[in-house]
A and B are shown apart, each in its own frame.
Chain A
Amino acid sequence: MTFAGWFTIAAFVVVVSALAFPLGTYMANVYSGERVFLSPIFSGFERLLYRIVRVDEERQQDWKSYAKSLIIFSLAGWLFLYFVLRTQDAFFVPHALNPLGYHSAPADVTFNTVSSFMTNTNWQFYSGETTMTYLSQMIGLTVQNWLSAGVGIVVAVALVRGIIGRSGKGIGNFWQDMVRTILYVLAPLSIIGALVLASQGVIANFSDYLTVHTITGLNQTIAMGPVAGQEAIKELGTNGGGFFNTNSAHPFENPTQFTNFFEMLLVLIIPAALIFMYGRMTGNRRQGYAIYGTVMIMFLGAVVVAYIAEAHGSPAQHAAGLHTAVVSGSGGGNMEGKEQRFGIAGSALFDVITTVTSCGAVNSAIESFTGIGGAVPFANLSASEVIFGGVGTGLYSILLYVLLAVFIGGLMVGRTPEWLGKKLEAREIKLAGLGILITPLAALFCTALAVATRAGRMSISEAATSAKLGIHTPQAFSESFYAYLSQANNNGSAFAGYTGFIQPNAGNLGSHGITLATVLGGFDMVLARYAPILFALAVAGALAGKRVTPAGLGTMRTDNGTFVVLLIGVIVLVGALTFFPALLLGPIVQGLTGHLY
């Protein structure tokens, strides 16, 4: 561990908070229909868009109508992406956009990929530079990076509207929310982000792959592509699907020490801003700060553990005789699967940021993290995307937890639970409970199926199988469990040994018998994305019609330190009760024993 490492973590927290606060205020204005500084530029275009897609943006939708629009829109996006990916080498694709003549991936891999990008997961059973054409990356994957981010954000906004609704059933208009999210929030930030990244070395071109003759007489082929645009929205929308196979570890996606810091800011800024937006829109900023404090405490805990664990090094390194302490000119630590320019702190921090949010981009190999370092992303995922979480998903997920915490707090003090002046009743608590539990359920069910069947175990990497003993190791369980936990939480990061093969360039033949993993994963993602969305919208609908009663002496406060402790307790309790037995079998065993398999 180094001073610069700790300083990076501290500086990141300060900078992201300082940027998220004004952005939260701005977003609150956007979704309240107030004029913002971009209105003069976009409002005409915005009206034109409504006319083209034929919507009456003034029409308020109740939760069912809002949900219907959302589901049908997602379905249309799914079909469009499936069409794009399955026609990669069709006659209408120009050569410049498929310079290597890639074929399409098989149906099951495409099913997984399409579900993955529609749900903001960006789990990748394919390798970008060896299977995807430039056209697929652009009009296929990049489009869903925008749209899936938008869908997440509008659900959070709708839930906030339900909470503050004074009468009636309306929770906003889905189409208006989508258009505004894309024009006023995502577009300006993406364009700035992409240009900053491009100026630092993230490539943006449509060239053929370069052929290089090195000074020692070797040949090297270098993959190219229009990366910068996709890179920016990939981080901002907490999507995380890399243009290249090694994601943000690839020098063309994340070329310098500076871009690493910048990309981390892009990932966390919208999830952080949404919490401030919530505080402002509900008129109870202190409660916004309380939630921000809650998630920040959990976030920092994760960062500290991951940094210390990775700086300490792995049992395999020590057994080989390597010294992992900091020495002059080297940061030491577990550098297996990490890039020199990011070092330990830059890798650990990036990893935590992208696993607390649903981003899932990686700048280092999570599979190679130490047992305890690797347990941190597990724990982050086990908290079900509430520690900042994905864009929108984070806010609506933690608000469901807030509901639960208010209910439990109410039981403890023996009063009717009230939240922001609204009485919570059986219906809301049931809906919130179901919304919280469906993701863990999907993750555990899929994991059980994947480790219990031969078809599932085929996906386990060779390296996680002990050659000497001929059995699967705890690492094999970690790989499988992480895959379905990550997909259920719509995260998309991976212990990448799981089905970690490179599909051959010619023909992309291969699902190589991993059909169970692709199909199971696809359903895992869709279920764990849309079921909680429906429950969140239902909660919004249930709250919208409730009358507000002024807070009395008996009202439990939801904006002070006691509530922060209660909320953390509820989140940890639900996560621990659900996942602890499974976590023990994988990363914790490895972290505690130091045994080599």
Chain B
Amino acid sequence: MKPWQRDTITSILAVIVFAVLTGLLYPLAITGISQVAFPGDANGQQIHLDGKLIGSKLIGQSFASPVLGKNGKPEEKEGELVTEPDPRYFQSRPSATEGGAYNAAASTFSNHGPNSVKTREADEENIKAYLELNKNPATKAEYDPGLTVARIPVDAANSSASGLDPEISKANAWIQAYRIAAVRHLPLASVDSLIARYTSGRGLGFSGEEGVNVLELNLALDRVTAGTS
């Protein structure tokens, strides 16, 4: 047999062997062990409420409600549901996923360039929406008396990388706390203490930034309002 023929046979056999080892046994073993040892983590840290699946702790959500049209059905525009943020809940970061915000079946970057007019316009739109949301519709005054454009934390105006960021910054949460406290008739201090409870610390004490898990915080708010905790 010539060397290249021997190499060809060996290559074919080696690809099959390695495919079985690294492409079947390895992922099956990792998945199997994880399902037994860390079932909650391996299945996406699902959160259930009254027996129904309402989200994953790790995957951000939009806390907006569908807008009902004249016929009483949810309104749609260009195939996407029309929604408006629910002032009773903390709102997540802007998300640029296709097919509506927080589409966890198709994560996407916004891919907004640093020197792009489109980026500026997107930021301005997010700033406007944020100010609008944190303003008392009756009195036209900001819930947080010190709120100005310059005080809006960057994470509240910039879209996240995955479009599924489950967290917001503490500064962002503190501003929204004024609105939540007013709308839900809760003392500001108790909302702030909930924020502190659902803030994740830095990894190993230094890695990354602190962030507030929006879904967990909102669920806790509902429990407080319902008087069950």
Q: Give which listed residue, B158, B166, B168, B208, contacts A251 with CB less than 8 A.
A: B166
B202 near A201 with CB under 8 A, answer: no
Q: How large is the interface on B (under 10, 10 to 19, 20 to 34, 35 or more residues)?
A: 35 or more
Whether A510 is near chain B, meaning CB under 8 Å from some CB there, is no
Asked whether, in the complex, the Cβ of B11 is within 8 Å of the Cβ of A329, the reply is no
- Please give, as numbers and ranges, the residues of chain A lying within 8 Å of B41 by CB-CB distance: 198-203
Residues of B near A145 (CB, < 8 A) are: 22
Inter-subunit contact A214/B54 (CB<8 Å): yes
Q: A127-B106, A251-B166 are in contact. Are A215 and B49 (CB under 8 A)?
A: yes
Flag whether A130 is at the interface (Cβ < 8 A). Answer: yes
Within the complex, what minimum Cβ distance (angstroms) separates A81 from chain B? 9
B:140-185 near A, CB below 8 Å: 149-155, 157-174
Q: In the complex, A331 Cα to B158 Cα: how many Å?
A: 13
Known: A216-B63, A339-B161. A314 touches B119 (CB 8 A): yes
A228–B31 touching, CB < 8 Å: yes
Q: Which residues from chain A contact B102 at a C-beta distance below 8 Å?
A: 220
Once A142-B27, A339-B165 are accepted as A-B contacts, the answer to whether A73 and B15 lie under 8 Å apart by CB is yes
* Inter-chain contacts of A230 with B (CB < 8 A): 27
Decide yes or no whether B188 CB sits under 8 A from chain A.
no
C-alpha gap A138/B155 in the complex (Å): 35
A228 to B7, CA, bound (A): 33
Whether B124 pairs with A320 at a CB distance below 8 angstroms is: yes
Q: Is the CB of A368 within 8 A of B209?
A: no
CB distance from B89 to the nearest CB of A (A): 7
Looking at the assembled complex, report how far the CB atom of B104 sits from the nearest CB atom of chain A, in whole angstroms: 4
Taking a contact as CB atoms closer than 8 A, the residue among B89, B115, B161, B172 that contacts A595 in the complex is B115
Asked whether, in the complex, the Cβ of A246 is within 8 Å of the Cβ of B161, the reply is yes
Tell whether, in the assembled complex, residue B209 and residue A256 are in contact, meaning their CB atoms are under 8 Å apart: no
User: What's the least CB distance linking A310 to chain B, in Å?
Assistant: 10
Tell me which residues across on chain A come within 8 A of B117, comparing CB atoms. Answer: 316, 466-468, 596-597
Q: Please name the residue on chain A nearest to B43 by beta carbon.
A: A205
Question: Is B105 located at the chain interface by the 8 A CB criterion?
Answer: yes
Q: Are A323 and B151 in contact (CB under 8 A)?
A: yes
Distance to closest chain A CB from B27 (angstroms): 4
- The main secondary structure of chain B at its interface with chain A is mixed
Contact status B30-A195, CB under 8 Å? yes
Q: Which of B77-115 contact A (CB under 8 A)?
A: 81, 83, 86, 89, 93, 98, 102-115
Q: How large is the interface on A (under 10, 10 to 19, 20 to 34, 35 or more residues)?
A: 35 or more
Q: Which residue of A lies closest to B205 (CB)?
A: A4
In the complex, whether B73 has a CB less than 8 A from a CB of chain A is no
B25-40 contact mask (Cβ, 8 Å, vs A): 1 or 0: 0110111011101100
Is B120 a contact partner of A229 (Cβ separation < 8 A)? no
B65 sits at the interface (CB 8 A): yes
Q: Using A370-B114, A371-B115, A467-B117 as known contacts, say yes or no to A228 and B211 having CB atoms under 8 A apart.
A: no
- What are 24 A-B residue pairs whose CB atoms fall within 8 Å in the complex? A11-B207, A49-B17, A72-B4, A75-B11, A138-B24, A139-B24, A198-B38, A210-B44, A215-B54, A222-B104, A245-B107, A251-B165, A252-B58, A317-B154, A320-B123, A321-B150, A322-B123, A327-B171, A330-B170, A336-B123, A337-B110, A338-B158, A461-B111, A466-B117
B-binding residues in A (CB < 8 A) = 4, 7-8, 11, 49, 52-55, 65, 68-69, 72-73, 75-77, 80, 127, 129-130, 138-140, 142-143, 145-147, 175, 178, 182, 187, 190-191, 194-195, 198-207, 209-218, 220-224, 226, 228-230, 232-233, 244-246, 249-252, 255-261, 313-317, 319-324, 327-347, 362-365, 367-371, 373-374, 461, 463-464, 466-468, 473-475, 495-497, 500, 502, 590, 593-597
**3 closest cross-chain pairs (CB), A and B:** A257-B208, A343-B209, A257-B203
A72-B8, A340-B211 known; 5 other A-B pairs, CB under 8 Å? A72-B11, A76-B8, A127-B108, A252-B58, A316-B116
Residues of chain B whose beta carbon lies under 8 Å from any beta carbon of chain A: 3-4, 6-15, 17-19, 21-24, 26-27, 29-31, 33-35, 37-38, 41-46, 49, 52-56, 58-66, 81, 83, 86, 89, 93, 98, 102-120, 123-124, 127, 149-155, 157-174, 200-204, 206-211, 218-219, 222
